[in-house]
Chains A and B, each alone.
Chain A
Amino acid sequence: MASVIATEPALEPSSGARQVARRLSADRGAVFGLVVVLVFVLAAVFAPLITAISGYGPYEYDLAALDDTGAPRGFGGGISREHWFGVEPLTGRDLFAVVIYGARTSLLVGVAATVVSVVLGVLIGIVAGYFGGWADRVLSRATDVVFGFPGLIFMIAVGAIIPPWFPKSLLIIVVIGFFGWPAIARVVRGQTLVLKQRNYVVASLAAGASATHLLFRQILPNLAATIIVFATISIPGKIGAEAALSFLGVGVPPPTPAWGRSIGEAINWVQTDPMFLFFPGAALFLVTLAFNLAGDGLRDALDPRSEGAGR
């Protein structure tokens, strides 16, 4: 063979993770999202430290900050040098501490419930997609049923009848997580159906690989990007669900700070003390937006098709 065409050029070596990081850092929305998420996570982790600096813990009742009707004294719901976000009406709790500690509840429930639903969803989706046949029929119908189930009403009902000794946070995590898996199960099932037709999976099967080998060595690593993105994007929904339950009074028990319950209580005070609604509401809004932006950015960064259009 003549040397003119005897070269098969190898492409430039590159690190996948580094490329993702590079694309992510070029996306302003994603950077904003990640920074905000990081700030909230740090606030939740170091909540005791932060409230020690700000001066009031979430369980300290500063009745001096209230007037005779129970409404906070002063401008903007009692915003002052001592109380940065003002105080809670009737109790006089420092609202800053409530918001900071509320991040613990929201993030813990949001992330843990997401882990529960992702584990369930991936397991069910991958089994249904890979094995097909009756396993697929049974699991897919179950997915449809849970998907169509009025989850919020069920959660409220369970919250009302569960014995009081059962840890409420755990219950909320399990319940929200359980109703969250169908969406990811469907996505994972669809991807698995595609992946199991890929030549490398067929080649591995033809080389004598067992089902577990194929599922965990060949298919699951290729689902990783999908799962990460899906998990990130579904966290804000779980945080919202927890807030909704707390808003309705069946969330974590008082006096544990939770944004949802603060918002629920603030509704009654919105005429006299609008800032009581503003701070927990803003926190909820920001963290939800941030997770969504980060998830969107992550999806774009992990999708190789988003770069290099043209032939």
Chain B
Amino acid sequence: MSAPAEPTVLQVTDLSISFTTQGGRAAPREVVHHVGFTLERGRVLALVGESGSGKSVTAMATLRLLPNTAQIEGSVRLGSEELLSAPAERLRRVRGGLIGTVFQEPMGALNPVFTIGDQIAESLLAHHRGLDRPAARRRVHELLDLVAVTDPARVARSFPHELSGGQLQRAMIAMAISNNPQALIADEPTTALDVTVQAEILALLRDLKDRLGMAVLLITHDMGVVADIADDVAVMRDGQIVERADVLSVFKAPQHDYTKALLAAVPRLPSLRIAEPAPAHVRHPARQGVAAAVEDATIIYRGRGRHQVRAAESVTLHIAPGEVVGLVGESGSGKSTVGRALAGLVQLASGRAVLAGVDLSEASRRTLREVRAKLGIVFQDPASSLNPRHTIERSIGEPLDLHQQLSAAQRHARVLELLDAVQLDRALAGRLPHELSGGQRQRVAIARAISTNPDLLIADEPTSALDVSVQARILALFGRLQADFGFACLFISHDLAVVGEVTSRVAVMYRGSVVEEGPTDQTLTAPTHPYTRRLLAAAPVPDPVEQRRRREAWLALQQADAAAA
């Protein structure tokens, strides 16, 4: 172990990575070009970038965790030791010993057939051969206690599927710090988690870094996370670091155009006024009529045997013609289920779902098919929202074929019009989905959804799988189309800032129920329900100063909750 006086833990200089493809016949493709950064004790360096920027590859390369097709050049020094030329045996001791790693998907990173305790013990025993079982068990409990899981003994006995995502990520962190590493590499450690859980994990990482004096390399795409935890920031784009500075200067005075554009693309939440009392309830003039509604809807999913899940409980939500209503909540809150109920895709256990004046649960199969002409859906995952074997034209034209008798020429003309409407090149009509980028596919999905001029568009996390810059453009497109076509929209999202940008009214779901509903600007700035407050306080904003204020508000809420419990 190095002396505490030595601040630099890991130094990466002039790192270039290239991949050979097609069995080495093609020339190697360089994906990371001459990257350099330094990790210091007790500081967090955030490596920020969009997908394909090379940030993960760079992080993995420091531990030589890349497939054999990768060629790494440059230097990675841990203290005074060169890791890139280190023998395999030494590298094995460094991995998990001197440098710990945390990955994005805790569920995928843990082995489902062993208990959490066994897996942490394994990482201990890998580096301390002599450790006996009781000592290992004691250390496992200590570690789980350190990462603040509730009831460490129970968690140690549990299998991965028995724990929540947040608990699992804590267990992963316990494993990563089990051998007192000097550095921790966290690759998108909170991306798969809900915001309230994310806030807890970030607080834990910050606390551990200070207590254990670790250097942390954080890979992320989320500017809010950067603002929350980072001390230094390196912005990556196309395999190069385009800007490197301390966190305050990056957010206050970004130098590079790309950083500026990236920051401009992040949707922002208005400042939160949690402490202040809610202003007198200003009722917005109610819009006339109802485009779609669920009334007192309860939805139950049946599993095997008697197992059942109440996904929605007496949910009532009205959407007026031309109105954009946001539905926010964390994973498992039932927000997507409500969207599916409005499309007539799930059976209601009780209550009604109404679309264009038709009660979907009582409609005949034929009426249901007809009324669906007034409905469009856009899904989260652009990869699976288009049939891989259908051309773009066929995908967009499908709802037209189902509901309108158009000649081939009329249909073609309409598809081209729709491509124009979503700002895609007409030449893409003949392409297949795999030839398009994620943002383009999402545009095609939108074009398909609006092809029959629907009354209602259900957008289920339409931008969650996209990079922020692409998201910004899709949201702008969405706003324009909504203004032009005038459809009503149920906009389902976990991202409060996105909902704040596009919706006029918002409903917050928590454990299957709508806990709060109101005008968006009011709900997002002065929430009344405690859950909405927690949710809002936990959402990180891309501004280190404002984020510190939010973090303190969040901590205060946490403590208030703990005191109340």
- List residues of chain A with CB under 8 Å of any chain B CB: 1-2, 4-6, 8-14, 16, 198-210, 213, 218, 221-222, 224, 307-311
Contacts and interface: CB of A to CB of B under 8 A. Distances in A.
Contact of B395 (A8, A9, A200, A205): A200
Nearest to A198: B384
A311 B432 CA distance: 23
Contacts of B439: 8
B122 interface: no
Given A198-B384, A218-B387, A309-B69, A1 B375 contact: no
17 contacts: A4-B258, A6-B469, A8-B440, A10-B436, A10-B437, A14-B435, A200-B386, A203-B445, A206-B343, A206-B376, A206-B458, A208-B368, A208-B370, A309-B67, A309-B69, A311-B56, A311-B57
B434 A11 contact: yes
B403 A208 contact: yes
A13 B431 contact: yes
Contacts of A308: 21
A221 B398 contact: no
A210 B401 CA distance: 12
Nearest to A218: B387
A204 B258 contact: no
Given A5-B258, A208-B373, A10 B435 contact: yes
Contacts of B448: 203, 207
Interface stretch (B98-106, B169-177, B259-267, B553-561): B259-267
A11 B385 contact: no
B388 interface: yes
B472 interface: yes
Given A4-B258, A5-B258, A206-B343, A16 B69 contact: no
B356 to A, nearest CB: 12
Closest CB pairs A-B (n = 8): A208-B372, A2-B261, A207-B399, A199-B379, A199-B385, A5-B469, A208-B369, A200-B387
A208 B367 CA distance: 10
Given A1-B261, A2-B258, A207-B376, 17 more contacts: A5-B258, A6-B473, A10-B428, A11-B436, A11-B437, A198-B384, A199-B381, A200-B384, A202-B379, A207-B372, A207-B377, A208-B372, A208-B403, A209-B402, A210-B369, A307-B22, A310-B67
A14 B431 CA distance: 9
A57 B174 CA distance: 79
Contacts of A14: 435
A218 B260 CA distance: 43
Contacts of A10: 428, 431, 435-437, 440
B70 interface: yes
Contacts of A16: 432
A221 B445 contact: no
B389 interface: yes
Interface in B414-473: 428, 431-432, 434-437, 439-440, 445, 448-449, 452, 458, 469-470, 472-473
B398 A222 contact: no
A193 to B, nearest CB: 14
B345 interface: yes
Nearest to A224: B389
Contacts of B21: 308
A222 B389 contact: yes
Contacts of A6: 469, 473
B365 to A, nearest CB: 8
A8 B257 contact: no
A208 B386 contact: no
A11 B373 CA distance: 32
A2 B437 contact: no
B66 interface: yes
A2 B69 CA distance: 35
B19 interface: yes
Contact of B402 (A12, A213, A311): A213
B373 A1 contact: no
Question: Which residue of B345, B377, B458, B473 has the most chain A CB atoms within 10 A of its CB atom?
Answer: B377
B402 A203 contact: no
The A interface, classified by DSSP as helix, strand, loop or mixed, is loop
B120 to A, nearest CB: 27
Given A1-B264, A1-B265, A4-B261, A203 B385 contact: yes
A308 B22 CA distance: 7
A206 B435 contact: no
A220 to B, nearest CB: 10
Contacts of B432: 16
A159 to B, nearest CB: 42
A201 B385 CA distance: 8
B435 A13 contact: yes
Contacts of A201: 387
A310 B373 CA distance: 43
Interface in B137-193: none
A310 B19 contact: yes
Interface in B259-278: 260-262, 264-265
Interface string B24-66: 0000000000000000000000000010000011000000001
A199 B385 CA distance: 5
A12 B436 CA distance: 9
B34 to A, nearest CB: 20
B257 A4 contact: yes
Contacts of A12: 435
A209 B369 CA distance: 7
B243 to A, nearest CB: 12
Given A199-B379, A207-B399, A221 B387 contact: yes
A5 B345 contact: no
Contacts of A209: 369, 398, 402
Contacts of A5: 50, 258, 261-262, 265, 469
A15 B448 CA distance: 24
Nearest to B468: A5
Contacts of B379: 199, 202-203
Given A198-B384, A206-B345, A208-B403, A310 B372 contact: no
Nearest to B365: A210
A194 B439 CA distance: 24
A6 B368 CA distance: 41
B345 A205 contact: yes
A222 B440 contact: no
A203 B449 CA distance: 8
A7 B368 CA distance: 40
Contacts of B435: 10-14
B273 to A, nearest CB: 30
A310 B66 contact: yes
A9 B434 CA distance: 12
Contacts of B56: 311
B375 A2 contact: no
Contacts of B399: 207-208
Contacts of B22: 307
A253 B439 CA distance: 64
A237 B216 CA distance: 58
A16 B262 CA distance: 35
A154 B447 CA distance: 56
Contacts of B261: 1-2, 4-5
A5 B49 CA distance: 12
B288 to A, nearest CB: 26
A221 B395 CA distance: 14
B258 A207 contact: no
B373 A2 contact: no
A205 B22 CA distance: 39
A187 B448 CA distance: 31
Nearest to A15: B432
Contacts of A200: 384-387, 390, 395
Interface string B327-346: 00000000000000001110
A201 B345 CA distance: 12
Contact of A310 (B69, B260, B434, B449): B69
